[in-house]
Amino acid sequence: MATSFKKKSTRGRAIYPPGTRPSLHNNQLLVSSGVPSMDSVIGGGIAVGAVFMVEEDTYSSYARQLSKYFLAEGVISGHSIFLASAEPEPNDILKDLPQQVDNKTYSVDEPGDSSSPIQSMKIAWRYQNQPKLESSPSSGSFGHYFDLTRVMDETKLSSIPIQTFSVTSEMAKCLSCTEERKSSENNVYRALISRINSAIKEGGFTTAEKGLENRTILRIVLHGLGSPLWGEEQHFGNEISPTLTRFLFQLRATLRSALAVCFVTVPTQLFQDPALTRRVERLCDTVVKLESFAGSDNETNPVYKDYHGLFHIVRLPRLNSLVCHVPDSFDLAFKLRRKKMTIEKLHLPPELSETANRTQEDSHRGKPGSLSCQSMVTNSCLDF
């Protein structure tokens, strides 16, 4: 008797490097940023061969946390790491990477969280069975979760190849250069792009080699790129130096033919010319901006009492497709708790919205020139 049973076979099934998955939108190979909520809003992850740029906040504290998440995700996935930084030093960043935790531990609400059942708003019994709105987008099982209060074990760091590039040491070497060579180009960028090319060729990350079996991904992190510590004093004067834009152009061209992804943080709030910011944004594939509430009037604003800053999506990649991924909402905010950092949809508190509406109605009702049946400017309940 014939049967329709067929033996399951892996023949013809694509094999991808560990810690990667193809995009459902354009079949582009993706890696996780270390923050699953951020992966979902940018299209499922960061595309391999692309440049991901983060415009730093005022004090660069939250951008540094995103860099640590990206590095920690690479360590857990077994990816190679190339780290370049001026302040803090690369070795100091690697010593402070967060420890991996499971999904159940990560999902437990922390004390003081507004979403905990104890402090949640009591609603009518008829609405208790209604589905809740997900403030934090989820991206399935892709990526890992980390605890900011615990430091990653050094044995895990030693199990993967790590290369560091100290900008401070390279700047000391540039002091011995001649004045003509200094004025022509930034020697730090020249040495950095040379080191990146060597890491890609020597590590076997070029796409010239066919097949993805037994291969891994190179994660490149450039922290504080374009700051004065990188020798970019000309950006803060009247003239715009082309060294930064030239370096980003060379970097993106190099990554297009490599199994590598670059995570860049740029202090654009220090640039005096907005044209330079727009040029840098166009040379990157994905651009997000962190607007921190620290030191601003929004820090005490009751609208943002549950958040630490706004998360702006400036640019999304258009790789292997004519259109880019469109998230459900562009009104996003981030919060940094004791153990985790999440990207959530920005919601207005119910009690605040009701108060704001009543205030607007009262102010409109009390206008001297308003058309109403009243003898004087009052807020009486008899006025209509």
Topology adopted by domain 25-103+142-345 = Rossmann fold (3.40.50)
Nearest CA to 94 among 66, 61, 71?
A: 71
Q: Is 354 exposed, middle or buried (0-12, 13-18, 19+ CB in 10 A)?
A: exposed
Per domain, the residue ranges of the chain are: 25-103+142-345
Check residue 184 and give its pLDDT: 52
Calpha distance 236→150 (Å, rounded):
38
Check residue 366 and give its pLDDT: 47
Check residue 338 and give its pLDDT: 79
Calpha distance 200→75 (Å, rounded):
18
Which residues, including other chains, have CB under 8 Å from residue 166's CB and lie 6 or more apart?
84, 85, 86, 89, 90
Spatial strand order of the sheet with 29-31 comes to: 20-22, 29-31, 46-47
| Single pTM value for the model | 0.80
pLDDT digits (tens, 9 = 90+) for 219-260: 999 999 988 888 776 544 555 678 899 999 999 999 999 999
Q: Distance of CA 225 to CAs 5, 22, 83, 147, Å? A: 58, 29, 12, 27
Place of tokens 């999506």: 313
Contact 269, 56 (CB under 8 A): yes
Check residue 324 and give its pLDDT: 84
Q: How far is CA 310 from the centre of its chain?
A: 12
Calpha distance 378→384 (Å, rounded):
11
Check residue 29 and give its pLDDT: 93
Backbone angles phi, psi at 149, to 5 degrees: -85, -10
Residues forming a β-bridge with 336: 341
pLDDT digits (tens, 9 = 90+) for 270-294: 888 899 999 999 999 999 999 999 8
Contact 277, 315 (CB under 8 A): no
| DSSP H/E element including 171 | helix 167-174
Calpha distance 297→170 (Å, rounded):
39
Nearest CA to 44 among 63, 30, 61?
A: 30
Kind of pairing between the strands at 162-166 and 80-85: parallel
Contact 320, 28 (CB under 8 A): yes
Check residue 368 and give its pLDDT: 45
Which residues, including other chains, have CB under 8 Å from residue 330's CB and lie 6 or more apart?
312, 313
**Which segments of the chain have a pLDDT < 70?**
1-13, 103-141, 175-185, 233-240, 348-384
Q: Distance of CA 173 to CAs 86, 159, 166, 190, 247, Å? A: 14, 31, 11, 13, 19
Calpha distance 216→204 (Å, rounded):
9
What three-state secondary structure class fits 162?
Answer: strand
Residue type, 204: G
Please, what's the b/e burial string for 259-274 (b: 16 or more CB within 10 A of its CB; e: otherwise)? Answer: bbbbbbbbbbbebeee
